[in-house]
């Protein structure tokens, strides 16, 4: 069997949030076309006040109508409200839906002033292919 360079299958991430969030905020869309989904890493730092939840919206086309999407699996971290007594953790989610465009939504669920410091990166998973194996 011949060796193949699979480096072209590696994807880099898109940072959608980095810094303090003190109100409901929606990221720009992340293009996942040609990929099976995405891994989303949330690095939740300090939450000084208020409460925040993380959710997702998706659409089949760029600039399309984005709707709530629950095709998410949380592999690590809490899905509870982020508060001053529930912060400083890493959360890893996986998007396994059929849509090609994803947005991350941080919702202010309890009123606050200074908010939460959060970094979120969306990394597309391996590309879709037409063959019967990764080697095609």
- Give this prediction's pTM: 0.85
Residue 136 has pLDDT above 50, yes or no: no
Q: Is 7 helix (H, G, I), strand (E, B) or coil?
A: helix
Q: What is the pLDDT of residues 121-135, one digit of tens each?
A: 999 987 766 555 555
For residue 9, what are the CA distances in angstroms to 18, 47, 91, 96? 26, 36, 24, 18
Confidence at residue 128, expressed as pLDDT on a 0 to 100 scale: 66
| Domains parsed from the chain with CATH numbers | 12-124 (2.60.120.680)
Q: What is the pLDDT of residues 27-82, one digit of tens each?
A: 999 999 988 899 999 999 999 999 999 999 999 999 999 999 999 999 988 888 99
Q: What is the pLDDT of residues 69-87, one digit of tens each?
A: 999 999 988 888 999 999 9
For residue 82, what are the CA distances in angstroms to 31, 37, 74, 111, 134? 27, 25, 15, 12, 39
């Amino acid at each position: 069997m011949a060796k193949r360079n699979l480096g072209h299958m590696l994807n880099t991430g898109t940072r959608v949030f980095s810094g303090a969030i003190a109100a409901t905020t929606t990221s720009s869309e992340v293009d996942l076309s040609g990929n099976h989904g995405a891994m989303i890493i949330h690095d939740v730092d300090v939450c000084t006040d208020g409460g925040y939840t993380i959710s997702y919206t998706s659409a089949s086309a760029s600039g399309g109508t984005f709707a709530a999407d629950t095709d998410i699996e949380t592999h690590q971290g809490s899905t509870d409200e982020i508060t001053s007594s529930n912060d400083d953790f890493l959360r890893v989610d996986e998007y396994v839906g059929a849509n090609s465009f994803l947005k991350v939504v941080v919702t202010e669920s309890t009123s606050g002033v200074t908010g939460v410091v959060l970094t979120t990166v969306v990394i597309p998973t391996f590309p879709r292919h037409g063959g019967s194996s990764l080697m095609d």
